[in-house]
């Protein structure tokens, strides 16, 4: 590819996005530049404090439990209180909780504050996802979510390398550094981001009741995606809970792990945007199945790693899975989320990652302590296979369909603006790869709003990310 082609692709990737998006993008980058706790907590507890892998897994699980507890509440806050206030509250709370965690020495106190950090940091995710869907035009959401995911991983790559060396001298400095940058992130949101929550008209309020959590839980298709997201998340979590412990057990240092895991962020920064440009109009069924298999067997190959270079090669394999899965799955989730219920839908989806963050450390700590790391990597291969079969079963009835026209005026009384309590049973439809639609899926139901898709995880963002 020529330099001119690269410049054109770069311009097309960033042009036309609103100013508010770039401030949200900036806050995401700042937040991820300070990432420390989620990445190095296991090493901090086992190498610096001398606790067992099981205790490290317990603390990481309590961190995940905090996210489970806050997911639904944060989704409701996002819809009721607003996106901007939810972000400011969550990020400010995260900053203070992370700083406090750095000073804890008692094992019970460490576990308790880790739970609070998990609650606070996870509360940002539904608000970020909903705000990005609000402020970006439907046809630009794929690019916007990919760029945000790119910022997450740019920050992650930088922070992994620098924090790994900081940890050699002072873990406390890492905690305080993350707290400071998270607080800066909250200031950026407060000063630069306007509220984006769509307001319901009086007619809409009378015609359709507010989307409740029960509505989300009864949406079988959406909950199926949530369940598969849990399996995929359970695999990816091992990169931050199982992998550092396994490398530490094999005699590698915190700096070694930092260099190896930084490959994940660097690779995503290098190829996320071009890969998304290539895959955004392709069959999501195949993309999700392939990504699940790459994730499972990428971690499975870790059983044969004996050097930092080989660990890095296995990380490359499951990173490719992440690059493909993140935009495809998140596009599906946002597609299934009604406009006035985005916060709640994103809260339930975020909970799948939080539950995985709760289960994964217990799983990795127990398996490593009692059976060895090889069994953990074999289990990841099995989970990847199960997830691939699940995606095939969930989406095998989908049929191609032309893209839906964009709604340009308020809905008529016969077209409600929010998802009804009983989700439509009309099958999803996938546009043909030849069509120029920015949507991987469509929901062709007369009773379902024409919610336009978005893409790329911010949730998803990475484990422990406040943004």
Count the residues in the chain: 467
Of 49-63, 110-124, 193-207, 410-424, minimum mean pLDDT range: 410-424
How confident is the model at residue 415, as a pLDDT? Answer: 38
How confident is the model at residue 441, as a pLDDT? Answer: 37
Higher pLDDT, 169 or 349: 349
Does residue 380 have a pLDDT over 90? Answer: yes
Q: Are 61 and 234 in contact (CB under 8 A)?
A: no
pTM value surpassing 0.75: no
Task: Express each pLDDT in 215-255 by its tens digit.
Answer: 888 888 788 889 999 999 999 999 888 898 888 888 888 78
**Measured between alpha carbons, how far is 103 from 84 in angstroms, rounded to an integer?**
30
Q: Are 95 and 180 in contact (CB under 8 A)?
A: yes
Does residue 398 have a pLDDT over 80? Answer: no
Does residue 453 have a pLDDT over 50? Answer: no
How confident is the model at residue 10, as a pLDDT? Answer: 63
pLDDT bucket at 87, cuts 50 / 70 / 90 = very high
Pick from 98, 113, 379, 108: which is nearest to 242 by CA? 379
By the 10 Å C-beta count (0-12 exposed, 13-18 middle, 19+ buried), 26 is classed as middle
**Measured between alpha carbons, how far is 328 from 323 in angstroms, rounded to an integer?**
9
How confident is the model at residue 200, as a pLDDT? Answer: 67
Higher pLDDT, 125 or 466: 125
By the 10 Å C-beta count (0-12 exposed, 13-18 middle, 19+ buried), 376 is classed as buried
Does residue 447 have a pLDDT over 50? Answer: no
How confident is the model at residue 279, as a pLDDT? Answer: 76
Q: Are 171 and 40 in contact (CB under 8 A)?
A: yes
**Measured between alpha carbons, how far is 129 from 202 in angstroms, rounded to an integer?**
26
Does residue 411 have a pLDDT over 50? Answer: no
Q: Which two tokens stand for residue 155?
A: 């920050």
Sign of CA dihedral 253, 302, 236, 112: negative
Pick from 308, 318, 305: which is nearest to 267 by CA? 318
How confident is the model at residue 400, as a pLDDT? Answer: 43
What's the 3-state SS for the chain? CCHHHHHHHHHHHHCCCCHHHHHHHHHHHHHHHCCCHHHHHHHHHHHHCCCCHHHHHHHHHHHHHHHHHHHHHHHHHHHHCCHHHHHHHHHHHHHHHHHHHHCCCCHHHHHHHHHHHHHHHHCHHHHHHHHHHHHCCHHHHHHHHHHHHHHHHHHHHHHHHHHHHHHHHCHHHHHHHHHHHHHHHHHHHHHHCCCCCCCCCHHHHHHCCCCCHHHHHHCHHHHHHHHHHHHHHHHHHHHCCHHHHHHHHCCCCHHHHHHHHHHHHHHHHHHHHHHHHHHCCCCHHHHHHHHHHHHHHHHHHHHHCCCHHHHHHHHHHHHHHHHHHHHHHHHHHHHCCCHHHHHHHHHHHHHHHHHHHHHHHHHHHHHHHHCCHHHHHHHHHHHHHHHHHHHHHHHCCCEECCCCCCCCCCCCCCCCCCCCCCCCCCCCEECCCCCCCCCCCECCCCCCCCCCCCCCCCCCCCCCCCC
């Amino acid at each position: 590819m020529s330099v001119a082609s690269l410049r054109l692709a770069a311009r097309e990737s960033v042009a036309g996005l609103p100013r508010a998006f770039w401030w949200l993008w900036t806050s995401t980058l700042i937040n991820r530049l300070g990432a420390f706790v989620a990445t190095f907590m296991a090493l901090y507890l086992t190498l610096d404090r001398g606790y067992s892998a099981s205790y490290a897994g317990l603390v990481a699980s309590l961190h995940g439990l905090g996210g489970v507890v806050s997911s639904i509440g944060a989704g409701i806050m996002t819809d009721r209180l607003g996106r901007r206030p939810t972000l400011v509250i969550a990020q400010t709370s995260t900053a203070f909780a992370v700083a406090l965690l750095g000073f804890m020495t008692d094992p019970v106190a460490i576990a308790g504050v880790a739970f609070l950090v998990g609650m606070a940091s996870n509360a940002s995710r539904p608000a970020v996802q909903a705000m990005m869907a609000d402020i970006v035009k439907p046809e630009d959401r794929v690019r916007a979510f990919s760029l945000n995911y790119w910022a997450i991983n740019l920050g992650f790559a930088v922070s992994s390398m620098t924090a790994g060396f900081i940890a050699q001298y002072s873990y406390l400095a890492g905690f305080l550094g993350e707290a400071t940058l998270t607080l800066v992130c909250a200031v950026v949101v407060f000063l630069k981001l306007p509220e984006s929550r769509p307001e319901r008209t009086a007619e809409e309020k009378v015609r359709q009741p507010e989307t409740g959590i029960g509505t989300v839980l009864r949406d079988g298709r959406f909950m199926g995606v949530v369940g598969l997201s849990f399996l995929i998340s359970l695999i990816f979590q091992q990169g931050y809970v199982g992998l550092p412990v396994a490398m530490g057990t094999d005699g590698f240092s915190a700096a070694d792990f930092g260099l190896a895991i930084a490959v994940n962020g660097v690779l995503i920064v290098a190829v996320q945007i071009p890969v998304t440009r290539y895959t955004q109009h392709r069959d999501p069924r195949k993309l999700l199945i392939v990504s699940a298999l790459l994730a499972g067997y990428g971690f499975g190959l870790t059983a044969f790693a004996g050097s930092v270079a080989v660990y890095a090669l296995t990380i490359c394999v499951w990173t490719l899975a992440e690059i493909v899965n993140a935009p495809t799955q998140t596009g599906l989730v946002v597609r299934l989320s009604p406009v006035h219920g985005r916060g709640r839908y994103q809260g339930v989806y975020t909970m799948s990652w939080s539950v995985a963050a709760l289960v994964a450390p217990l799983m990795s700590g127990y398996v490593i302590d009692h059976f060895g790391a090889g069994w953990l990597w074999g289990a990841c291969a099995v989970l990847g296979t199960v997830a691939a079969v699940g995606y095939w079963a969930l989406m095998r009835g989908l049929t191609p369909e032309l893209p839906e026209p964009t709604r340009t005026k308020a809905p008529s009384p016969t077209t409600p603006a929010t998802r009804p309590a009983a989700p439509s049973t009309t099958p999803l439809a996938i546009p043909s790869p030849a069509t120029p639609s920015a949507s991987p899926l469509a929901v062709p139901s007369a009773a379902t709003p024409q919610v336009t898709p978005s893409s790329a995880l911010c949730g998803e963002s990475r484990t422990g990310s406040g943004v």
